[in-house]
Amino acid sequence: MFLDFERIWPSVPYILQGVQVTLAYTSVSLFLGFFWGTFLALFKVSHTKPLVWVAGFYTSIFRGTPLLLQLMLIYHAIPQLTGYNISIWEAGILTFTLNSGAYVAEHIRGGINAVDKGQMEAALSLGISYPFIMKDIILPQAIRTILPSLVNEAIDLLKESALISVIGGADILWRAQIVASEKYLYFEPLLIAGAAYYVLVMILTIAARILEKKLKTT
């Protein structure tokens, strides 16, 4: 057995163009998932029981079923149910946002509970309303403490975004498979795809470490 990188060398730029696609799916879903997760976390810590139940049910569904299943359901079921012809991009962003929102919500809920309860009392004693207490006092402190775990969420999402290739999203993995089937060489393009993911994940990991150190010192 030998590796024949020379034959796929001309296709490497094509595979690496998938990096921007992968990053686009990851960053947009993470951004939207962060807001959606914050929203769900506020449900979870509210004193209104039905809101707590709704948010709890939601997260249990999205954390309790495979992401690939969720992606396929959204991509195939939405056209069947609504007649709307959903694009790969839309289906990907919607699925990843809904899914990462469920995970982010759990992190943020933990962060909110970790904020000293004296902060809430001090704000209440000044006559601040609950929405402003959350927005100005509690959430900034909660998010600060969970920043490292949000970076880990970004890493998970980046790797899981490879699932988009299953429904035809032209990301790193999908392009590697195209090259593979064109050249009848599987190992080499997949190795290159793997290396690309690894480098991206390492960059985020190092960023997380630096962030964690910075948070510790200030």
Of residues 100-119, those binding other proteins (CB under 8 A): 116, 118-119
Q: Which two tokens stand for residue 150?
A: 């949000």
Within residues 171-200, the interface with other proteins by CB under 8 A covers none
Looking at the Cβ atoms of 17 and 129, the one nearer to other proteins is: 129
Of the candidate residues 121, 194, 205, 214, the single one contacting other proteins (CB under 8 A): 121
* Sequence-separated (6 or more) residues with CB below 8 Å from residue 98: 33, 36, 62, 70
Contact with other proteins (CB under 8 A) among 50, 66, 83, 127: 127
Distance CA 73, CA 153 (A): 23
Q: How many residues bind other proteins (CB under 8 A)?
A: 19
- Residue 133 belongs to what H/E stretch? none
Residue 64: other Cβ atoms inside 10 A: 8
With CB under 8 A as the contact rule, which of the stretches 68-76, 140-148, 163-171, 204-212 interacts with other proteins? 140-148
Name the minimum Å distance from CB 116 to other proteins.
Answer: 7
- Residues 6 or more apart whose CB falls under 8 angstroms from that of 75 comprise 86, 88, 91, 95, 167
How far apart CA 133 and CA 118 sit, in angstroms, is 12
73 binding other proteins? (CB under 8 A): no
Residue nearer to other proteins on the CB measure, 124 or 210: 124
Is residue 128 a contact point for other proteins (CB under 8 A)?
A: yes
Angle at 144 between CA 140 and CA 148, to 5 degrees: 150
- Tell me which residues touch other proteins (CB under 8 A): 116, 118-119, 121-129, 132, 136-137, 140-141, 144, 218
